[in-house]
Structure 1
Amino acid sequence: MKYHLLIAAWVTTFVVSPGIINLAQAQTANIKTIVSIGGPPVILKQNSQLNLAGVFGVGGNTSAIVTQNGTYNYTGVLQFGGTTSASVNQLGANNVTFVGQSGQSTSSVVAQVGSVNSGVISQFGATNTSNVTQAGP
């Protein structure tokens, strides 16, 4: 159920984002969904014109690093575990990130450089740390 909610959030963001009309002309697209259950850290690099990334992590310690370089960059990270950490770096005209974390200790870093930047971090834990950096071109 939570996985479907994450997809619905991406679709909603995708539809209401500025400049979405030009997506029909996109040359390349890179769409990845990664589910990690008690597995190793997730490291994802995307360099297409349109980049969509979804990371769902469950386990004792979950970690995700997403790097996107394209015109349209969209990332959703949802993590549940004892220690959760996420890092999202986006360089492009339109950048959207959502990070949701629940655990004993949560930490996240979001860095966005572009014309339109949107970042949301929701953390539920005993110790929560977050940093969002946004800059225009």
Structure 2
Amino acid sequence: MKRLLKRLLGSACAAMFALCSAGAGSAGAQTADIKTIVSVGGPPVVLNQNSQLNMAGVFMIGGSTGATVTQNGTNNATGVLQFGGTNSASIGQAGMNNFAFVGQTGQSATSLISQLGAMNTGAVAQFGAVNASMIVQTSP
């Protein structure tokens, strides 16, 4: 499992780098919103990002973890890792390039990834007794 997590995290980092490179143009200034959130036993995380480049990393440990990330921009990337008894994650992305990764370990895990864009990549890894996930990807 440790090897799988390292491999998934390595892939996630490579994809985020590719998104950053794809969005880096020389024509004009770009806005970026980059957030890293670490929560240990805290309340659910809700994050809304509306810049040209949006990147979010959410790491949660606790009895019940919940994360909701919404991104609207040219390039969007989100990684959510949750370790708790009950885990839930929801990611909504609208932009040219979208990348989302959810990793969950616990008694139950639920995730939803919704992406609207020209290039969409979504991955879910769940390790629990009860797991449910859905990925919806559409292009304009």
- State TM-score, norm by structure 1: 0.89
Matched ranges for 1:64-79 at <5 A: 64-79=67-82
> Mind listing any 5+ residue stretches in structure 2 that lack a counterpart?
1-5
Matched ranges for 1:115-130 at <5 A: 115-130=118-133
Q: Which amino acid aligns with 1:16?
A: A
Matched ranges for 1:81-100 at <5 A: 81-100=84-103
Q: Percent identity?
A: 56
> Mind listing any 5+ residue stretches in structure 1 that lack a counterpart?
none
Shift of 1:41: 0.3
Q: 2:47 corresponds to which residue?
A: 44
Distance 1:38 1:22, change over 3 A: closer
Cα separation, 2, equivalents of 1:92 and 1:51: 10
Which digits, 9 at most, give the CA deviation of each residue in 1:91-110, with x for residues without a partner?
00000000000000000000
Aligned residues: 133
Q: 1:16 corresponds to which residue?
A: 18
Distance 1:104 1:93, change over 3 A: same
- State TM-score, norm by structure 2: 0.88
Q: 1:108 corresponds to which residue?
A: 111
Shift of 1:10: 4.3
Q: 2:3 corresponds to which residue?
A: none
Do the aligned residues in 1 keep the contact of 2:62 with 2:83 (CA within 8 Å)?
A: yes
Which digits, 9 at most, give the CA deviation of each residue in 1:11-66, with x for residues without a partner?
3112334x834414451000000000000000000000000000000000000000
Do the aligned residues in 2 keep the contact of 1:102 with 1:125 (CA within 8 Å)?
A: yes
Which digits, 9 at most, give the CA deviation of each residue in 1:86-130, with x for residues without a partner?
000000000000000000000000000000000000000000000
